[in-house]
Structure 1
């Protein structure tokens, strides 16, 4: 499908943007909207948005390029006064992109009215409004008016959600894994990532802020995000663009944490030495390099995968860093690399077909790109993992998946999904 009406209207909007430095914006998450939070945080730094000035919605196979085109047009018309000049200042939009071309979920870019941020010890506030500017949203007014912050909300308990298996219950998931291994052994493909769902109901729609705060406290080294009801804590950087540099972090290969220090160390060493996990990881890295390389003048990778420690598990990780060679925006690179082998498989086209057949449900925005983009096209995007989609009716759908390769064992892969569900289940009081 082509651009929706929302994308087409956004092209003609003229935005007035003003960013000023402030003494402090901490705490950030407690200032977020409790019902419609917009959050992008890691290690206590990032941006939080309030309100909505423009929404760009796209669907179908051209959803990313349509969003990128609409954003480029919107940014070109904007009047931007950025007195800070850090990543996340000036004109920004929070985004969440559907995983699959055929998904019924919309992909969105949301431009908030107010953005609060902090990075490298500096803090700022951005106000964004449509031109002509009205008195209530005067982005061109005094610095004092721009810098007014909403008060942080008092801390509250996370809302409790009781999760039950979704459309692919545990026994069916094991059967799907077994069928995937059969196809791999028959040389139909090398790897496929299979996910399953947990479903619950949220009765306190004002409690999402507490859920996100819990994720940020428990998983500070991940990208903690909230965009249009999609919330989570992802360890995987899909792509980051900052003034001509591009970087990414590829994760594939997983092990549980040990009960004690010695056991934990043993599990990390075993993961680093595992042929199965290293093979799965190599496919994911190869996929990312292949799709980023055409857009870079130089691209370097970690010489060896390293073990990344999270509170509930270990991952094999590889960092990529390079110099942009063709002026691509962060959304252009999102389009180039999504979906990676880390969330789809290899070969990609065959893996995507297997996912549709074996999972049997619409992933929505799970495993899709989530992040932000600024007026210059720079931005940070993660893969929406360890996440849940909260719908308007209160339905909460959580997702977790595993990379299936030749020697995958169905029961082990099921156990790995349980580990990966833990962050989002606990964030909802489970």
Structure 2
């Protein structure tokens, strides 16, 4: 594995040449089934939805950065790697050739680092077309044989849950204080999160979590980057040959499991002034951030209700046409943090999060996804997720957050956060 320093830390001439080869792959097995056993959890990579996307393993190159310039430094590093790459791509689609996976901390002052990982092996599938990519620093790159399906992962054992830095009582108190601040006019909306720590009796295999999430939440993007694992329903931005799309979620109600009741709840969600207000803030923040990079944009007048197994969300799909060469990562940086995970106005809401939340979110609620050498890629918001402890892989910290507006009730927000923890809690179950 090779790690390059941040831009400016050394001469560009010191960087390696990356050799990349992509060939078609005729394979119909689930993508996640190819992730091999026995790999460190931070070298297992995924971006999969409804059976398509990318998985990768190994680490030909990695990059880390912290602070306010983490996006710009990552972008500069990736451009430099692209300039050095020798690529033979027999498929030539977004996601083929040179590709990195990445995840970024929510806050500029987080103790966590932004991570980019260039896998040594990638298996991808799009519109039924499969491919295999190998990436190496060895100029005599030898293609691997077609990958085989790996052995099934073992489930976590003896999982116990404990409050993290923010207990349910702490969270209710923070919500109540946030409602007071909103009433005083400091912010219109703020998103507050809480954490839950899960500990097993042996190292947790992320492949188990990914398979469980993909089986139960096929309408989400199931991701794994550097030990951050989850299934996000929210697409921050996708850039695909000039077309830019974003799925905005804000406004949530818990499902009951009774179809008739859930239909009634969906109708009430679509009429809820509190949830519609929260959603409007989120959509507006995305549209305003994308506008400088777009020649035209379609923003539906009203949201639809997205049905997931555990909750329902108000959702809006924004589509736009790119007017410049901004990469998918540049677009993600311009959108982060959206009102869906930060609040409105952004700067004041982020300051209030730092004051009231009393924890470091790490990479929770930050951008997570992938990008190719042309700048095409997809970045979600790292929701419904957990971060495996790098020093103790038998422990994972789960996160969930809720948008707080003037009409928010503390106990209801605790219940909503419980609902949002269900996907990861269930993924840790062995039955």
Deviates more, 1:202-211 or 1:154-163: 154-163
Relative to the length of structure 2, the TM-score reads 0.94
3-state SS, counterpart of residue 160 of structure 2: coil
1:417 and 2:417 aligned: yes
Kindly provide the CA deviation profile for residues 348-368 of structure 1, in whole angstroms up to 9, marking residues without a partner as x: 111011101101110000000
How far is the alpha carbon of 1:119 from its aligned partner? 1.3
How far is the alpha carbon of 1:46 from its aligned partner? 1.0
1:199 is matched with which residue? 197
2:379 is matched with which residue? 381
1:40 is matched with which residue? 47
For residues 2-151 of structure 1, the aligned pairs below 5 Å read 5=5, 12-24=15-27, 26-34=29-37, 35-36=40-41, 37-133=44-140, 138=141, 141=142, 145-151=143-149
3-state SS, counterpart of residue 146 of structure 2: coil
How far is the alpha carbon of 1:25 from its aligned partner? 5.3
3-state SS, counterpart of residue 224 of structure 2: strand
Inter-CA distance 324–243: structure 2 relative to 1 (3 Å threshold): same
2:237 to 231, 236, 239: 239
Inter-CA distance 10–108: structure 2 relative to 1 (3 Å threshold): farther
Kindly provide the CA deviation profile for residues 154-173 of structure 1, in whole angstroms up to 9, marking residues without a partner as x: 35434553221111111111
Kindly provide the CA deviation profile for residues 221-272 of structure 1, in whole angstroms up to 9, marking residues without a partner as x: 1000011000000000000001111100000000111332211100000000
Instruction: Provide structure 1 residue ranges, at least 5 long, that are not aligned to the other structure.
Output: none
Kindly provide the CA deviation profile for residues 23-65 of structure 1, in whole angstroms up to 9, marking residues without a partner as x: 1152321221444221110001111111100001111000001
Preserved CA contact (<8 Å) 1:402 1:413: yes
For the residues of structure 1 that align with 2:238 and 2:10, how far apart are their CA atoms? Answer: 28
Kindly provide the CA deviation profile for residues 288-313 of structure 1, in whole angstroms up to 9, marking residues without a partner as x: 01101111111111231000000011
Preserved CA contact (<8 Å) 2:402 2:417: yes
Kindly provide the CA deviation profile for residues 305-342 of structure 1, in whole angstroms up to 9, marking residues without a partner as x: 00000001100000111111111001111110101000
For residues 263-412 of structure 1, the aligned pairs below 5 Å read 263-392=261-390, 393-394=392-393, 395-412=395-412
How far is the alpha carbon of 1:128 from its aligned partner? 0.5
For the residues of structure 1 that align with 2:85 and 2:79, how far apart are their CA atoms? Answer: 10
For the residues of structure 1 that align with 2:204 and 2:275, how far apart are their CA atoms? Answer: 41
For the residues of structure 1 that align with 2:144 and 2:123, how far apart are their CA atoms? Answer: 11
Preserved CA contact (<8 Å) 2:52 2:126: yes
1:254 is matched with which residue? 252
For the residues of structure 1 that align with 2:117 and 2:60, how far apart are their CA atoms? Answer: 8
For the residues of structure 1 that align with 2:25 and 2:324, how far apart are their CA atoms? Answer: 35
Aligned residues: 419
Relative to the length of structure 1, the TM-score reads 0.94
Preserved CA contact (<8 Å) 2:36 2:151: no
Preserved CA contact (<8 Å) 2:294 2:321: yes
Preserved CA contact (<8 Å) 1:25 1:117: no
Instruction: Provide structure 2 residue ranges, at least 5 long, that are not aligned to the other structure.
Output: none
3-state SS, counterpart of residue 187 of structure 1: coil
1:217 is matched with which residue? 215
Preserved CA contact (<8 Å) 2:365 2:382: yes
